[in-house]
Structure 1
Amino acid sequence: MPERNEELDRIPVWLDHLLADKRAGHVRLIRPFVHWFLLKRARRRAAHRRHPADSATPLRTRVRVALELLAWLDEHGLELATLTQPELKRWLAAGNTRTYTIRYFLGWAAERRIAPRLTVPKIPRQDPLAGRVVTVRKQPRNRHLTPEHTQTYCDFVLDVNKILRKARSDHRV
């Protein structure tokens, strides 16, 4: 007999509380999505792992994100059945990286012909330092920082890489 995963066993109770104040149409979509897709998949994955990872947290995130999309559709007078790629793109752009987990709900809904087949792009990579200006002190004699000593982070990294490559080539025999 497979081991119980108490985290996953608590999901139905959590879901009942979460859906208590939601619209009936949303509940009719979310319950089967959770029980027949997310939980089934999470239990199967947990059964095959020697040390099951935290499988309830991502599952909860996927449910919340699906509910956020449904609420957004209601606010904008849109239907899941007629959601378009530009509308999905607009919703994704207004959210954060966790909204990209909507791909699970939309894929499930498309397989059941509840929603059109839409493409959820990969999470855009963000360079947290892109565009930042980094101050580099080159130890000028007067110790005052001048504009030529200020450069973007990318330029700084390129300069450091050049210096390192030159140092490596100087030490080669």
Structure 2
Amino acid sequence: MAAGEVQISHDTLDALPPSPRVRYLRHMLISAGTLPAIDVRLNDLEILAEHLISNVPSHHAQIINQYFRWQVLRQTRQRHADEPLTVGMFNARWSALRKIASFLAWLDEQGAQLETLDQRSVDLFFAHHRSQAAVAIFLNWAIRQKLTGPITPPHRSQARPAPSIPEDTIWRKVDELLDDEPIPPASRIIGLLVLVFAQRISDCVRLRRSDVSEDETALRITFGRTPLALPAPIAELLRHYVSELEAERPFVSGGPDWLFPGTTPHLHVSEGIIRIHLAAHQIQARKAQNARIDQLIQTVPASVVADTLGINIGTAVRAAARTNSRWGGYPELRHSLFREKRRDG
């Protein structure tokens, strides 16, 4: 492209096998304004799907193509029209397509066909293959499209709630992150937002600098509709982080004002990197988030928790029911405890 031998275009990049290097180059050209903006991961998913479809038997290719175009791709575009596909979403959809292709290949090995599939074959497959929720979803779609007979795919069993993390353990992890300077500041701050404010890593990495505000009384961050005042130690850490961020020269000017920018131009930090850093403190974000919601719901109404933390009201209500919550007052989120610890330490 630099030598003028091929056109600088998305089509030129599409002709290359998807890889992190090609993805980085595409992001760089988009951020520089050389190429029009697209959802890069969604584009990669379409390329991989085309490769997969072209390498399966024709009677499978037609079914997979129909399912991908009219189910996966359509739903993805409808649900995520305003934001690009995340790494987790991309991986889930690509893994699902491969599992469906493997299922159809298994049918061939059994001498069976999707059109005449019976319940015995369905039960046999799921008895010998685990983690096949994607195949169950595909079969339900195939039934609605009348591509197969009246079978009953297994329902996903309701997972038992994991044991909650004790509150003193949560706060011990908070203290560790506040004091562990070798961990990158972005990971420390995101870990603290997970532990204190029950945030998901996927939501934290999408925070914008405009979500942080400061007045004469406090540094505030907005997760839902109501900004939250940050406890002094977290506010101090975030204030220092933002000042260093503003002093850095961006790779390419413009683009989203991510609070936690990544190494790829105009993209936020990777969720996977944050998880790796937090793993050093044995912090499992999902378990910590659920435990913190359970703790907060004991003293704050579900509607207030949902409003301030930006979580789904249904999630907050279910947590209240699960914990038999009888909320009382409206406590400050450990402001006094933070102040006492810092004063003593």
* TM-score for both structures, normalised by structure 1: 0.62
CA-CA distance at 1:9 after TM superposition? 1.8
Cα distance in 1 between the residues matched to 2:60 and 2:99: 12
CA-CA distance at 1:55 after TM superposition? 2.1
Q: In the TM superposition, what whole-angstrom CA distance separates every residue of 1:80-136 from its partner, at most 9, and x where no partner exists?
A: 011112211110111111x12212211221122111243222345789xxxxxxxxx
Q: Which shows bigger deviation, 108-117 or 118-127?
A: 118-127
For residue 108 of structure 1, the aligned residue among 141, 149, 152 is: 141
8 Å contact kept, 2:41–2:85: no
Counterpart of 1:144 in structure 2 is none
Cα distance in 2 between the residues matched to 1:89 and 1:100: 13
For residue 56 of structure 2, the aligned residue among 19, 22, 36 is: 22
Cα distance in 2 between the residues matched to 1:118 and 1:94: 18
For residue 71 of structure 1, the aligned residue among 95, 105, 123 is: 105
Q: 1:8 to 1:117 in 2, by over 3 A?
A: farther
Residue type of the alignment partner of 1:30: I
Q: 1:52 to 1:11 in 2, by over 3 A?
A: closer
Matching of residues 37-52 of structure 1 within 5 Å: 37-47=71-81
Q: 1:52 to 1:64 in 2, by over 3 A?
A: closer
Matching of residues 6-155 of structure 1 within 5 Å: 6-47=40-81, 53=86, 54-97=88-131, 99-124=132-157
Q: 1:118 to 1:5 in 2, by over 3 A?
A: farther
Q: How many residues align?
A: 123
CA-CA distance at 1:69 after TM superposition? 1.2
Cα distance in 1 between the residues matched to 2:45 and 2:105: 21
8 Å contact kept, 2:140–2:153: no
Cα distance in 2 between the residues matched to 1:117 and 1:48: 37
Counterpart of 1:5 in structure 2 is 39
1:69 aligns to what SS in structure 2? helix
Q: 1:124 to 1:108 in 2, by over 3 A?
A: closer
Residue type of the alignment partner of 1:9: N
1:10 aligns to what SS in structure 2? helix
1:47 aligns to what SS in structure 2? coil
Residue type of the alignment partner of 2:139: L
Cα distance in 1 between the residues matched to 2:71 and 2:101: 15
Cα distance in 1 between the residues matched to 2:158 and 2:142: 27
CA-CA distance at 1:39 after TM superposition? 0.7
Q: CA RMSD in A?
A: 2.3
2:80 aligns to what SS in structure 1? helix
Q: 1:119 to 1:5 in 2, by over 3 A?
A: farther
Residue type of the alignment partner of 2:151: L
Q: 1:14 to 1:117 in 2, by over 3 A?
A: same
CA-CA distance at 1:30 after TM superposition? 0.5
Cα distance in 2 between the residues matched to 1:118 and 1:4: 40
Q: In the TM superposition, what whole-angstrom CA distance separates every residue of 1:7-26 from its partner, at most 9, and x where no partner exists?
A: 11222211122233210111
